[in-house]
Amino acid sequence: MGTLDVESRIYTSDSGVAIQLLAVPALLIGAMQTDMTDHPHPPIMEVTLGSQKRVMENANDPVFLERVKQWDDARNTAMIRFVLALGTNAPPDSVWVERFSQFIPNPTADNMRVYWLLAQLTNDEANDIFEKIMSLTVPTEKGMAASADRFPSES
């Protein structure tokens, strides 16, 4: 798996691709997750309990469960692409862009960079980069300790 120079935030893949990692604001990630509102709803079914009929959600419906799995997969994929687009600074080479832009839906600069990264990296490296970007975004134990040392309390 690739290596990260912590000081420069340069991740180097096993194949030699150098990618600068950038922090992505946590509030922006949260907003993106919140905006994914197309979560499937369970089907409604009529149930008879004794002499009463009730309308209830059927959260165990197999079709609904499959839709939830598909939605979750799509959400995770979108989140990975979002973080890779905003959390990397690695321009794809122009030959690659020219060759593949016709095959990529909505070939914006961010989309081209994400597809280029995914073409250059192994799945493990892409997941590793995602985790490292997230660690730049979310305070780590080491970062919190360093901050505490820089700003000692008055007590």
- Stretch (H or E) spanning 151: none
Residue 62 in this model has a pLDDT that exceeds 80 = yes
Q: Which tokens go with 4?
A: 């990260």
* Contact indicator for 96, 88 with CB cutoff of 8 Å: no
The helix-helix angle for 62-86 and 123-137 (nearest 10°) equals 70
How far is the C-alpha of 144 from the C-alpha of 133, rounded, in Å? 17
Q: What's the whole-number mean pLDDT along residues 99-123?
A: 89
Tell me how far the alpha carbon of residue 116 is from its chain's centroid.
16
Confidence (pLDDT) at 152: 66
Question: Does the pLDDT at position 145 exceed 90?
Answer: no
pLDDT digit string, tens, across residues 3-40: 999 889 999 999 899 999 999 988 888 888 877 778 89
pTM score: 0.73
CA distance 153 to 62: 55
Phi, psi of 22 (to 5 degrees): -125, 150
Domains of the chain by residue range: 3-143
